[in-house]
Amino acid sequence: PTPSVERAAPDAGIQLFQLPWSSIAEECETRLGPAGFAWVLTSPPNESIAREEWWASYQPVSYGLNSRLGTRDEFADMVKRCDAAGVAVIADAVINHMTGQDAAGTGFAGTPYAHDEYPGLYGPDDFHHCGLTPGDDIVDYTSREQVQTCELVNLADLDTSGEQVQRTIVAYLDDLLSLGVAGFRIDAAKHMAADDVAAIVGRLPEGTRIMSEVIRSAREPVQPEEYTGFGEVFEFSYARDLDPQLESGVFADPELEGDRPAHVPADRAVVFIDNHDTERGEADITYRDGRLYVIANALMLADDYGTPVVYSGYAFSDRDSGAPAEADGTVSPASCADAGGPAESYADGERTCVQAWPAIAGMLEFRAVAGAAPRLEGVSDGDAYGFEREGRGVVAVNVGDETQTLAVPTTLPSGQYCDVVSGGKDAIDGEGCRGAAYTVDGGVVRFELAPQTAAAIHLGSRR
């Protein structure tokens, strides 16, 4: 038994999509902190249009912090409690645009607005009117000018190069920072010139964490690499590379030395299996794929590339459906306290509670023990694949429909180890395993993998 194995500080995050602030605060205290999540990405906290669809959050009306997800006080309370639990808060910052409504209206908190009039914030001169397309909408993604100065799905496009606009955005972000947030996801960053985003970020306190959302496409002029000078970038190539391997059972190691092709440098990359957009779009593997989704997350958390963010949302059959809400329009609180998972199926609106899945907790433990150890060349056999994080742990997966054995060469010391995906050790100094146990013998570990399962052992799971 090895009771004291060195563990790296947590680095992984979790996106809690459309979860009210009061519920996130509870998650931080009861689950995220103890499990070893370093940060949580929230949905946009500011006032938006008053509609039931989740995407109302992406149509800002004002920078007041009164939204369907909670009040300013509730947001501030969440940040405090998460911080105290060791979980930093990253807020989703929608700053490329305001609403996409043609008719004037009133926001969720009662603020009046029109398409390019936001009293006290912005008037028509603060917006781009690109004049390049019918209705000023983006039509051609091969045109940088259209992508950055026309309207994304009719959303009034802020002239983010303007001094007054930058000041107004910075005042909003500073307000969130004053409540203790650690940084921001920059929504629709591709639709703002990187120089504009750099200027805005340059006016924020040093150390503010920035994660730009720039959906990679080889056919477009605006590339994620333009946004790495002032922060991290969500790397969409990651799941695009991984998912087909899991679906085909044909595995290939990524580039193990140096940068990965079509990926931003590792220290700039935020990687994910899916997010709220891709689970409604391009992602091949989502909560609906249950066991395969666990495998995808396990491989991501076991990897040595980038900072991973796990995703947790709610089940839906209609891509527009908002999270279950109260009569007053606020999103209903939800608890993942007793949730296992993944479940065989989910009812519409049911929270997936991925942060509560035992396999995720086990892989966070693996990740902490793996630390900075390099990923070694992998082994594949049939539908199974596995690799070692040098001297620290070994992960293996079977994406096929039949049980498979996989022998992975390893430098781990000989002995018995508990698989942390199926339960890990029964106590820190314990001798027993809650789930499967594997033996490292003579520089090899032989996994016995049930259909569509993952397994992982690490120095700290030795019994």
Q: Which residues contribute to the site for Ca ion (CB under 5 A)?
A: 96, 157, 191
Which residue lies nearer to ligand LM2 by CB, 138 or 310?
A: 138
Q: Which amino acid, one-letter code, is at 458? A: H
Q: Is 136 in the site for ligand LM2 (CB under 6 A)?
A: no
CA within 13 Å, CB half, 162: 17
Q: Which amino acid, one-letter code, is at 356? A: A
- Binding residues for ligand LM2, total number by CB under 6 A: 14
Q: Is 153 in the site for ligand LM2 (CB under 6 A)?
A: yes
Task: Indicate the residue whose CB is closest to ligand LM2.
Answer: 100
Give the C-alpha separation, 349 to 351, whole Å.
Answer: 6
Task: Give Cβ neighbours of residue 73 (< 8 Å, ≥ 6 apart).
Answer: none
Residue 55: contacted member of ligand LM2, Ca ion, none (CB under 5 to 8 Å, by partner type): ligand LM2
187 is catalytic: yes
Give the C-alpha separation, 32 to 26, whole Å.
Answer: 9
Separation in Å, CA 269 to CA 198, 229, 256, 368: 17, 12, 15, 18
Q: Give the torsion sign (CA, 363, 392, 418, 5).
A: negative
Taking the complex as a whole, the smallest distance from the CB of residue 196 to Ca ion amounts, in Å, to: 8
Q: Is 59 in the site for ligand LM2 (CB under 6 A)?
A: yes
Rounded to the nearest angstrom, the gap between the alpha carbon of residue 284 and the centroid of all alpha carbons in its chain is: 16
Taking the complex as a whole, the smallest distance from the CB of residue 18 to Ca ion amounts, in Å, to: 24
Q: Is 287 in the site for ligand LM2 (CB under 6 A)?
A: no
Taking the complex as a whole, the smallest distance from the CB of residue 82 to ligand LM2 amounts, in Å, to: 22
Give the C-alpha separation, 346 to 352, whole Å.
Answer: 8
Tell me the per-residue interface mask from 99 to 128 with ligand LM2, x by CB under 6 A, - otherwise: -xx---------------------------
Q: Give the torsion sign (CA, 107, 111, 113, 119).
A: negative
Q: What angle do CA 211, 369, 32 make, to 5 degrees?
A: 50
Residue 438: contacted member of ligand LM2, Ca ion, none (CB under 5 to 8 Å, by partner type): none
Which residue lies nearer to Ca ion by CB, 182 or 192?
A: 192
Cα–Cα nearest to 422, from 351, 347, 360, 354 = 360
Which one of the spans 10-18, 148-156, 348-356, 362-370 is the region binding ligand LM2 (CB under 6 A)? Answer: 148-156
Taking the complex as a whole, the smallest distance from the CB of residue 266 to ligand LM2 amounts, in Å, to: 23
Q: Is 227 in the site for ligand LM2 (CB under 6 A)?
A: no
Length of the chain: 463
Taking the complex as a whole, the smallest distance from the CB of residue 31 to ligand LM2 amounts, in Å, to: 25
Cα–Cα nearest to 126, from 154, 155, 167, 165 = 165
Q: Is 58 in the site for ligand LM2 (CB under 6 A)?
A: yes
Cα–Cα nearest to 236, from 286, 293, 275, 287 = 275
Q: Where are the beta strands (DSSP E) in 363-412?
A: 379-381, 384-389, 393-398, 404-409
Which one of the spans 51-59, 201-209, 440-448, 455-463 is the region binding ligand LM2 (CB under 6 A)? Answer: 51-59
Residue recorded with tokens 């045109």? 143
Q: Is 133 in the site for ligand LM2 (CB under 6 A)?
A: no
Tell me the per-residue interface mask from 175 to 204 with ligand LM2, x by CB under 6 A, - otherwise: ------------xx----------------
Residue 157: contacted member of ligand LM2, Ca ion, none (CB under 5 to 8 Å, by partner type): Ca ion
Residue 204: contacted member of Ca ion, ligand LM2, none (CB under 5 to 8 Å, by partner type): none
Q: What are residue 62's phi and psi, to 5 degrees? A: -155, 175
Q: Is 220 in the site for ligand LM2 (CB under 6 A)?
A: no
Tell me which of 187, 232, 274, 279 is the catalytic residue. Answer: 187
Tell me which of 92, 213, 232, 304 is the catalytic residue. Answer: 213
Residue recorded with tokens 């032989």? 446
Asked if 28 contacts 78 with a C-beta cutoff of 8 angstroms, the reply is yes
Q: Tell me which residues are annotated as active site.
A: 187, 213
The residues that touch ligand LM2, with contacts defined as CB under 6 A, are: 55, 58-59, 94, 100-101, 152-155, 187-188, 213, 277
